[in-house]
Structure 1
């Protein structure tokens, strides 16, 4: 059973210490970055090398992130590469809800006593360079900048202290949400319909994946920051120290419910500052940037 250690941190001095220490040192070199592309009509893995994409011999992002495969001789100008959604075939996409205390407060929701999750469809996922262009059935489109992790090794009922062994890569993630589709009335009660709000076709970009080792020290020290900008204006900025449940707890908890497989993606929750809290929603032409300290910025345009 998952402990509630995180609630002690939220309520007491531990989280204050984490916040004081939550200043991430700048990365001294560009990280290795992997994407999925279409090459000769088939999905392929490529490593980003400056303005070029170098084909990789691995057949999945999970394999590439865990050190399997090697560079091929074929390179493609990045500007002309056909970038695909960074999701391996058959991968699950799981997302944490209300995993930052202050985000729960702005959503007027209680803080969960155990991890609260939902699934996102593969059809919702788009390439990091693609327009966010869901079906036009919404009126209140919102951003949610998040840190995403990719599983590299099967996990079933793993302990918290072993959870990092199963994480292969990290990336920026925008859990784009149609707020006006989220609440569903049923008699006198209102239910949250996360499927309709968060699984709209062509709604969710995930950035280039980087091997977890690149920022492992900051992740484990909980110094990594999640930042979101809309048209250059900062809307979100928080350290993962503010998470209710940290990454090892999340992986361990999920693995007691469902087997995690290589390639599965877990979005770890969004910090406060979403448009819902201020009433400022996205409109066509807006530029949303999600930045995870030490990782490539995920930049998307609303179509």
Structure 2
């Protein structure tokens, strides 16, 4: 099941079920409403009613897709979690972490799947990172690796846009360099966990102006998704709607200095989950 937040023209945001190239409004289903985060704990109970919903239907090309979850409590990312990317960083002088390395993206960075990415005036080192996003579906703490999949609501495509000089020099904790407004485009919708046989067997690709820059299977992760959830929940309670960006493969712009600039179009796609595409513009 694929669930999106969408609006028609300038109308209110609704929830919709995506089927092929159409989206069906499910906001009128009892218990659903217009907040995806609010219904995540009840997705199993609501599933049959959502699948049977026959509300107004629209061609996907005629609606505006919004960020599937626009109001998570947390947006967390793991650094250097792909083998080839970690090696890429090591060659650039960045030591490979000996444990999971997590950082915050402030939730105000979240943008829709086709929204513009703003290049900040304070930096010329705007970078891209395609990542598999995991959306938590249940409040959870101290989750065992073998139980971790049970707390996942689903998956989406993320671009962990990064301002490299702020990461390296102006905010060593990563928080500021990862959190500029518009630097968290996600989408295009939430694909529920039951639709994905193995989230560690998906292909990811990112292109800039049609040129492929990143391409990798999710099997190249150093710490898999379940290990990530187990690690994090030793520290904190994860809540429905929390987003985990699970790492990016090799091919980022930093090693070659091929950073994003206004006029570029960045497309990030993951097998089975769809694609997001964002145009880079100068920050207002």
**Interval containing the TM-score (normalised by the shorter chain):** 0.7 to 0.9
2:249 to 271, 277, 297: 271
Tell me the SS of whatever aligns to 1:34.
strand
8 Å CA contact 2:65–2:114 kept in 1: the answer is yes
Cα drift, residue 140 of structure 1:
1.1
8 Å CA contact 1:135–1:201 kept in 2: the answer is no
Q: Distance in 1 between matches of 2:272 and 2:59?
A: 24
Computed over aligned residues only, the root mean square deviation of the Cα atoms, in angstroms, reads: 2.2
Cα drift, residue 52 of structure 1:
3.8
Is 1:257 matched with 2:235? yes
Mean Cα displacement is larger for which, 293-302 or 66-75?
66-75
Q: Distance in 2 between matches of 1:90 and 1:149?
A: 12
Q: Which residue of 2 aligns with 1:156?
A: 141
**Unpaired segments ≥5 residues, structure 2:** none
Q: Which residue of 2 aligns with 1:205?
A: 185
Q: Distance in 2 between matches of 1:178 and 1:49?
A: 36
Q: Which residue of 1 aligns with 2:17?
A: 47
Q: Distance in 2 between matches of 1:277 and 1:61?
A: 38
Is 1:81 matched with 2:27? no
TM-score by length of 1: 0.79
Q: Distance in 2 between matches of 1:235 and 1:77?
A: 31
Cα drift, residue 158 of structure 1:
0.7
C-alpha spacing 1:226/1:79, structure 2 compared with 1 (3 Å): closer
Q: Distance in 2 between matches of 1:203 and 1:286?
A: 14
Structure 1 residue runs of 4+, over 6 Å off?
none
Mean Cα displacement is larger for which, 60-69 or 153-162?
60-69
C-alpha spacing 1:134/1:74, structure 2 compared with 1 (3 Å): farther
8 Å CA contact 1:182–1:194 kept in 2: the answer is yes
Cα drift, residue 42 of structure 1:
4.8
Cα drift, residue 134 of structure 1:
4.8
**Unpaired segments ≥5 residues, structure 1:** 1-31, 186-190
Tell me the SS of whatever aligns to 1:86.
coil
2:126 to 141, 166, 182: 141
Cα drift, residue 43 of structure 1:
4.1
Is 1:124 matched with 2:124? no
8 Å CA contact 2:80–2:248 kept in 1: the answer is yes
Q: Distance in 2 between matches of 1:183 and 1:282?
A: 17
Q: Which residue of 2 aligns with 1:66?
A: 43
Alignment length (residue pairs): 264
Q: Which residue of 1 aligns with 2:259?
A: 281
Q: Which residue of 2 aligns with 1:95?
A: 77
Q: Which residue of 2 aligns with 1:34?
A: 3
Q: Distance in 2 between matches of 1:257 and 1:88?
A: 24
Q: Distance in 2 between matches of 1:109 and 1:252?
A: 26
8 Å CA contact 2:119–2:261 kept in 1: the answer is no
Q: Which residue of 2 aligns with 1:218?
A: 198
